Amino acid sequence: MTTLTLAKALNEGMRKAMEDDPKVLVMGEDVGKLGGVFRVTDGLQKDFGEDRVIDTPLAESGIIGTAIGLALRGYRPVCEIQFDGFVFPAADQIITQLAKMPLRSLGAIRLPVVVRIPCGGGIGAVEHHSESPEAYFTHTAGLRVVACSNPADAYTMIQQAIRCDDPVVFFEPKRRYWDKAEVDTSPGEGDWPAFDQARVARSGADITLLAYGPMVKTCLEAAAAAEEDGRSVEVVDLRSLNPLDMPAVAESVRRTGRCVVVHEAPVFSGYGAELAARITEECFYSLEAPVLRVGGPSTPYPPSRLEEHYLPDLDRVLDAVDRSFAF
């Protein structure tokens, strides 16, 4: 067991993938000599060379378009979108080409491209640096969409994403980059959880909190606080957003009878809306209360001095728990 930050766990995971497969490439803005703005790719260019860790121009559409061409030639590109809000210039390539080309070719073409996106707020950044764009991509058929929440998952999931023959959008919670935890770097992939498998982060009996990425830690803190009031709260880390591990979600909700979905993105048309609808359809007769949602307001992400009022926190999660028990 090695103690790693989430950022370092991603770095070690990519390093292992590059050692195992010479076709794995890392590319993006400042990923080489600088090691990325969050230093997630630190040292990779020094160890693997400029041909495999490529500093690109500031052109997100060009990064993804080039990665598609490389994948067609047998490579496995790992693209870094420097900040979440920068992904939108690349949306055409991701949605129109990357997601659709395998079906367009009736499976003859595989595009094993990973698009890494540091996501979410909480770092005091300027505009376009604190977005939560996951719903855009979960709505796009043909993409796998995953989100790690802790160093152990970061280490294994980035390797699984790179080995996957499908295009993967990989969300990384940037305000959790510096969180530390023990990571087992010894086992092989056979010992890892399945790539599309949810994880029960905390067992409970009275209510289920569903979260992913940066909100998992917030929900765990809320569950610990709720325990002082005598409430047993289960926290499920979804990990994979598309495909969704619905059997794991349904098992938890049917057992507890109550559910709150938590994410940073705006509540309106957010990913939580899909979760609430699916749970209502499949678990209706087990529910003691409506599925509630906690997220950002329907407004552009605010200046940094206001973000603490925008982001869901422990109190807002506990308020939703109280409202659920009020039914």
- Whole-number percent of the chain with pLDDT over 90: 97
* pLDDT, tens only, 275-299: 999 999 999 999 999 999 999 999 9
Q: Are residues 218 and 149 in the same domain?
A: no
Q: Are residues 203 and 76 in the same domain?
A: no
Q: Which of 146, 166, 191 is the last residue of a domain?
A: 191
pTM of the model: 0.96
CATH number at 52 reads 3.40.50.970
Catalytic residue annotation: 129
Query: How high is the pLDDT of residue 188?
Result: 73
Domain tally, the chain: 2
Q: Are residues 168 and 226 in the same domain?
A: no
Domain range enclosing 300: 199-326
Q: With bands split at pLDDT 50, 70 and 90, how would you rate the model's confidence at 15?
A: very high
* pLDDT, tens only, 160-179: 999 999 999 999 999 999 99
Q: Are residues 206 and 131 in the same domain?
A: no
CATH number at 221 reads 3.40.50.920
SS3 annotation, the chain: CEEEEHHHHHHHHHHHHHHHCCCEEEEECCCCCCCCCCCCCCCHHHHHCCCCEEECCCCHHHHHHHHHHHHHCCCEEEEECCCHHHCHHHHHHHHHHHCCHHHHCCCCCCCCCEEEEEECCCCCCCCCCCCCCHHHHHCCCCCEEEECCCHHHHHHHHHHHHHCCCCEEEEEEHHHCCCEEEECCCCCHHHCCCCCCCEEEECCCCEEEEECCCHHHHHHHHHHHHHCCCCCEEEEECCEEECCCHHHHHHHHHHHCCEEEEEEEECCCCHHHHHHHHHHHHHHHHCCCCCEEEEECCCCCCCHHHHHHHCCCHHHHHHHHHHHHHC
